[in-house]
Amino acid sequence: MIAKLIITAIILGGGAFLLLSDSFEEYISPYANAAASDIENIKNDPVVQTKFHQALDIIYENLVKIKFSLSDFF
């Protein structure tokens, strides 16, 4: 019970900070900029692009297998 109250207080306190703080943009800006630059670096990395396309191919192949299995079932 006490743990639920503590978690609720943390969530409400965090929400109040986000809503009422004027310095939230200053607080989050360095983290947001770092995340954005990391995402751009990942998007431009050919190794990551290759692995992403391989993952999409595997997902597509599995969806095709499921489709054929369902069509055989019905």
Q: Note the pLDDT tens digit of each residue in 37-49.
A: 888 888 888 888 8
Separation of alpha carbons 57 and 24, rounded Å: 41
**In the chain, where the domains are located:** 1-43, 46-74
Q: SS3 sequence, the chain? A: CHHHHHHHHHHHHHHHHHHHCCCHHHHHHHHHHHHHHHHHHHHCCHHHHHHHHHHHHHHHHHHHHHHHHHHHHC
pLDDT at 67: 85
Give me the percent of the chain exceeding a pLDDT of 70. 93
Q: Is 73 a residue whose pLDDT tops 80?
A: no
pTM here is 0.44
